[in-house]
Amino acid sequence: MRKPVIAGNWKLNGTIAEALALVTELKALLPTNENVDVVVCPPFTALGTVAAATTSSAIQLGGQDIFFRQKGAYTGQISGPMLLDCGCKYVIMGHSERRGRFGVPEPDFTDDVLRVFGDNDTTVNLKLRAALANGLIPICCVGEILSERETGQTDDVVRKQVIAALKDVSPEETATVIFAYEPVWAIGTGKVCAADEADRVCGIIRATVASIAGDAAAHAVRIQYGGSVKPDNAQDLLGRPNIDGALVGGASLKAADFAGIVIAAG
Ligand code: 13P
């Protein structure tokens, strides 16, 4: 049995004081359930404070991104050792808000503020390997944009992203990776992917892992669904055989909603 993992991606939200208030409220609401991994990913600036506030709780900490070098002249970047230093155990990479979608015609590339960070399959692989090399658990996001879904490319896009992410990663390391299937059209839109379809695509991710790293790794790898997960749709999604958890955006900023999703996973 794979242990469900519910992770809250707080994105660009919260001062240190707000992050502390949110995690304090969350601690009070969360059930004690050792059968679910609960992770919060605050902004980098709040990691130290949230780490100090969660030391004696079941809440674990993750970073929202990682740079693939350990140190040096890389202005603005955060490395694996820095994340570890802040108490992180997990780190997200390949989020669609960071992957470049250059060359994608309108209307999908509508927001020139989002998706300008230029992550691509190559850098996502470097980041995933940097996470593993530092002993961090990668949460690697994959998923199609709306036009790819509408033109029947979902399965191919997701397969390609998974294969690229796992380049030069051993089967043993692969077994520790968490994938997050986040259909881009479902993120922050309130349009949740139907549970059957989310489960089907998570099954494709698992089959792709099996083809690269073998059945044992595919069986062990945990796959989250992300995109408009809320307490009222969580149970349906989390009850599916290939969905081992959720990567939660908006609802993770409300302690009661995030706790509700954790309860649905348990
Ligand atoms: P929402 O839950 O706000 O749709 O965001 C999902 C997400 O991007 C998590 O990484």
Which two three-digit tokens encode residue 129? 């390997």
Q: Is the pLDDT of residue 115 over 80?
A: no
> With helix as H, strand as E and coil as C, how does the chain read?
CCCCEEEEECCCCCCHHHHHHHHHHHHHHCCCCCCCEEEEECCHHHHHHHHHHHCCCCEEEEECCCCCCCCCCCCCCCCHHHHHHCCCCEEEECCCCCECCCCCCCCCCCCCCCCCCCECHHHHHHHHHHHHHCCCEEEEEECCCHHHHHCCCHHHHHHHHHHHHCCCCCHHHHCCCEEEECCHHHCCCCCCCCHHHHHHHHHHHHHHHHHHHCHHHHHHCEEEEECCCCHHHHHHHHCCCCCCEEEECHHHHCHHHHHHHHHHHC
Active-site annotation holds for 219: no
Which two three-digit tokens encode residue 49? 């404070």
Active-site residue, selected from the candidate residues 106, 182, 197, 219: 182
Active-site annotation holds for 95: yes
Model confidence pLDDT, tens digit, residues 199-248: 999 999 999 999 999 999 999 999 999 999 999 999 999 999 999 999 99
Rounded CA separation 83/9 (Å) = 15
Q: Which of 144, 182, 225, 258 to mutate to test the pocket of ligand 1 (most atoms within 8 A of CB)?
A: 182
**For the chain, domain boundaries:** 5-25+35-250
Could you identify the atom of ligand 1 that is nearest to the CA of residue 95? 10
Beta carbons within 10 angstroms of residue 71's beta carbon: 11
C-beta of 65 in contact with ligand 1 (< 6 A): no
pLDDT on residue 117: 77
Q: Is the pLDDT of residue 106 over 70?
A: no
CATH code for residues 5-25+35-250: 3.20.20.70
Rounded-to-10 torsion of CA 161, 163, 169, 172: 110
pLDDT on residue 159: 98
- Mean pLDDT of the region 169-177: 98
pLDDT on residue 34: 86
Which two three-digit tokens encode residue 168? 């030069």
Model confidence pLDDT, tens digit, residues 26-70: 999 998 878 999 999 999 999 999 999 999 899 999 999 999 999
Rounded CA separation 151/149 (Å) = 5
By the 8 A CB rule, do 264 and 14 touch?
A: no
What percent of the chain clears pLDDT 70, i.e. is strictly above it?
94
Q: Is the pLDDT of residue 107 over 60?
A: no
Please tell me the residue having the least CA distance from ligand 1 atom 9.
249
